[in-house]
Amino acid sequence: MSDWISKTLYSNGVLKNKLHIHDAAELEKKENELSARNALFLLQKSRR
């Protein structure tokens, strides 16, 4: 694996993230939750 790629992954292969979540399933769940929240915010903002 390229050196720059290994610097972006935790030892278990999960992409390093600002939430410091090391479990892939937990990270996916949180990303989906945050994306849905942001989408709802933008939809509500556009109605004003």
Q: What is the pLDDT of residue 47?
A: 80
DSSP secondary structure code for residue 25 in this structure: H
Amino acid identity, residue 35? S
> What pLDDT, in 10s, does the model give residues 14-39?
999 999 999 999 999 999 999 999 99
**Per-residue pLDDT at 1 exceeds 80:** no
Cα(40)–Cα(48) distance, integer angstroms: 13
Q: What is the domain count for the chain? A: 1
Whole-model pTM?
Answer: 0.79
Domain of 36 in residue numbering reads as 3-46
